[in-house]
Structure 1
Amino acid sequence: MDSDELQVRRVLEAWARAVRRADVDAVVAVHTGDVVLFDVPPPMVVTGIDSYLRQWRLFWEAQGEGLFDVSGLTVVAGDGVAFAHGLLRIGAAGTEGFEVRLTVGLRRVDGRWLVTHEHHSVPAE
């Protein structure tokens, strides 16, 4: 595993820990201000860190601290951009939760990998 891939994985692990703890500051710390989110609940497209955090606050109100576990993560990192995809198990503490698909785009900003795009989705039925 190369250094950039390892750094991206660490960013995504920090993000998942922050979401599990409902730690707003730690979530913001690993995202760009112009982050774009394609989310499962409406609206379909969320742009900017303030709107992004509104989505997370709704999530935390609904489930509190709980499951937010990434698995099967594949990471590809280049000079200034990276992407990762895997599965994400989400749900309230003490439940089995459910899985969604996760795709994340990152870019290097001042030497740090930051999340600039997230896509959470469920299969269409």
Structure 2
Amino acid sequence: MSADQPLAGHRVVITGASSGIGAATAVAFAAAGARVVLGARGREGLDDVARRCAAAGGNASVRPVDCTDAAAVATFAAEARACSVASTCGSAARRRRARPVRRRADRRPCARRRREPRRSHE
């Protein structure tokens, strides 16, 4: 890690990266040396941001993803974990099964909430 690239060797995953603050964040992280994995619905916007990241001296992988689809987000997360500097995201992750996203409502209540209150010993 050098002083001019403080995030060299780190991976940053950004959703909504095809425009606006997501795109600006991606370029900033790429300029700082991070490997960025970009996700958004529009492939054209992602490709444009990836070119801007490369022009800033960074490395970017793109993956179209609809963040309103939980299964697509889980797949995107698995692919982002599998990305390396030279990869284009996804080849290793497609061989593995993505874990489902668990929502808070799906979890069982904790054991303390199921117990009856303690009774005093009189």
Q: Same fold per TM (> 0.5)?
A: no
In terms of fraction of residues, the more strand-rich structure is 1
In terms of fraction of residues, the more helix-rich structure is 2
Specify which structure has the bigger relative contact order, considering alpha-carbon pairs within 8 angstroms and separated by 6 or more residues: 1
> Which structure is larger by alpha-carbon Rg, 1 or 2?
2
